Amino acid sequence: MLPQFGTAVRKNLNKTVTADASGATPDKGSVDAAWLVLEAANDLGDQAAIAACRRVIDAELNGTVAGRADIDLVMDYFR
């Protein structure tokens, strides 16, 4: 079955998720939101949001936790 048109397909990199010093682990919901916001921010030319999305996505791929300000921007982007 083909994926639905317009949806992003992410590859599972089989990386072990690690916790930071506070014991927090990367939040999958914020990463999924970052992909959606990244697409919208690219369309709008919103460079600050693009940079924040990239940091959130990179943090998840590296098994770390993104900064709270970046996560807040991503989660509140469409409000």
In this predicted structure, the answer to whether residue 9 has a pLDDT above a threshold of 50 is no
* Confidence (pLDDT) at 28: 76
Query: How many angstroms separate the CA atoms of 61 and 17, rounded?
Result: 9
Q: What is the value of pTM for the model shown?
A: 0.66
Instruction: Give 33 or 21, the one with higher predicted confidence.
Output: 33
Query: How many angstroms separate the CA atoms of 52 and 47, rounded?
Result: 9
Section 24-50 average pLDDT = 88
Give the DSSP letter string of 48-77. Answer: HHHHHHHHHHHHHHHT----HHHHHHHHTT
Where are the chain's structural domains?
28-75
pLDDT band at 25; cut points 50, 70, 90? low
In this predicted structure, the answer to whether residue 11 has a pLDDT above a threshold of 80 is no
Instruction: Give 69 or 25, the one with higher predicted confidence.
Output: 69
